Chain A
């Protein structure tokens, strides 16, 4: 499967990744190569085989309905959560205004 640059630019836009036209061409070739490699799987005969969505060996882990994080860590969690915020105001993250 080959990718055209239009599709590449659309994927980049959805992922909020800025690329220019030259990069788009290169990425189209690279991504196309990856897809082509994965397409080898099409050669496997899977008629009648149900999709495998897990190994079946591991039961999903589940947690009890108990508060173990956030306020119970004495507010330390808030500091950790906000530690990388580039423009913190008091206890809030801030972002450029997202409504008119």
Chain B
């Protein structure tokens, strides 16, 4: 499990903490009535508040607060009943107010923890330092004109949750697992869609390296990494860069860097001196945010079942394995689909078919579970036909394919194509006798000890019966007839 970089002077371990910016799912922005929807014609989702017009006052969107509290509860974190908003002052063209309203000294959510799943099946706990609410900035476009940058304020003022982890992460794999788990929790609760391509989830990555047992060394912050894969790559190359510096007698400077995915390297973002003097102070336009214990409890009571709890329940209720429960709960919709099928047919059969042929069919057609060409009821019907021995497993695979193609039900396809399993002893025995008679030489070989020919006879019989023989009966009868 432990990840180390073997340097010339020995092994180095890496220390990583992540700051994730997650865009809150809400209709309107954090402090204005403008739409928070992604996209939109430039500068149409903007109010005079977002544009920083003089005299405009921010009014807090209560739903954004509820979303932050829900997320905090999902991260097993302390909820602060009193929090405050501060101004973080800096100048940038896509920040019309000249400050970002954020929560610096008194965030709404305090310490929590996330349990991450590792490839070897193990789990590790990653600490959450805090979660606070803040405004997003607008968007600058630098490639539209040779001398000018274009500014679109649609995103300015949209609510973000900044979720800060403890420096508990020790490998690129753990960083990936942490981000996946965080995204899964946010999606389950419905507080962020976790869509990294659209920028609704972005990560700042703090990386340092050290020899085992040492205190922390200087860290660098890699800003705004927008995919899980890039976060993992950035950690790897940044850690290697720092090891090289320390080992050649240098000193790592604390600085902000960016990850260039095309070149696979991190580069210093030269910042002017004073750039990080944000001169935080309490926003005089906003009173302290006070929420009640009762309200928090009501939000908690209304939370959906979270991934880990769902996983344990599926294992207990349906007897699925640890691995299977992980796959089934990766998305809420998959777990819901599974439970519907498991209840209507057979839990074991359901998990085998979903993780096997059903997912394969989704992949082949490029559909998500929500757009599945076969409904949960449809799959249940197919599995019921296997269970009551109407069709065998081999035929069922063909039926599923036909269901995906035609949209017909399993029963319709079985009837139309005449795929009912043959369980009539006489019919099966007849088919076997024909095969044995036609292959007298092979029967002789079998009887003189070449027992692996048994599979050949099974294959020939099934072929003669167009795959419709009941496999168990074919095996039994064949064994009996060959022993005659």
Contact = CB atoms under 8 A, between A and B. Distances in A.
Interface of A: 10, 13-14, 16, 53-54, 58-72, 75, 77-78, 80-82, 87, 89-99
Contacts of A82: 43
Contacts of A66: 27-28, 33
Nearest to B66: A65
* Centre residue among B47, B63, B89, B274 by max chain A CB count within 10 A: B47
Given A53-B282, A63-B61, A91-B152, 16 more contacts: A60-B289, A62-B60, A64-B62, A65-B26, A65-B27, A65-B63, A67-B27, A67-B33, A69-B47, A69-B48, A70-B44, A77-B48, A81-B48, A92-B141, A94-B145, A96-B148
Residue from B48, B65, B146, B150 with most neighbouring chain A CB atoms (10 Å): B150
Contacts of A60: 60, 286-290
A92 B42 contact: yes
Given A77-B44, A96-B148, A54 B287 contact: yes
Interface in B1-59: 26-28, 32-35, 40-48, 51, 59
A65 B62 contact: yes
A93 B46 CA distance: 13
Contacts of B152: 91-92
Interface in B71-101: 84, 89, 91-93
B148 A70 contact: no
Nearest to A53: B288
Interface of B: 26-28, 32-35, 40-48, 51, 59-65, 84, 89, 91-93, 140-142, 144-153, 274, 277, 279, 282, 286-290
In order of increasing CB-CB distance, the 4 nearest A-B pairs are A68-B33, A65-B63, A70-B34, A69-B47
Contact of B153 (A10, A58, A64, A81): A81
Contacts of A95: 93, 148-149, 151
Contacts of A62: 59-62, 65
A61 B47 contact: no
Contact of A71 (B45, B141, B279): B45
Contact of A58 (B65, B93, B274, B287): B287
A99 B150 CA distance: 12
Nearest to A61: B59
B48 to A, nearest CB: 7
B430 to A, nearest CB: 71
A53 B286 CA distance: 10
Q: B40, B63, B84 — which one has the most chain A CB atoms within 10 A of its CB?
A: B63
Contact of A70 (B46, B62, B279, B287): B46
Contact of B28 (A65, A91, A97): A65
Nearest to B142: A99
B148 A89 contact: yes
Contacts of B279: 14
6 contacts: A13-B274, A60-B289, A72-B35, A77-B34, A95-B149, A98-B149
B32 A69 contact: yes
B145 A89 contact: yes
A74 B479 CA distance: 80
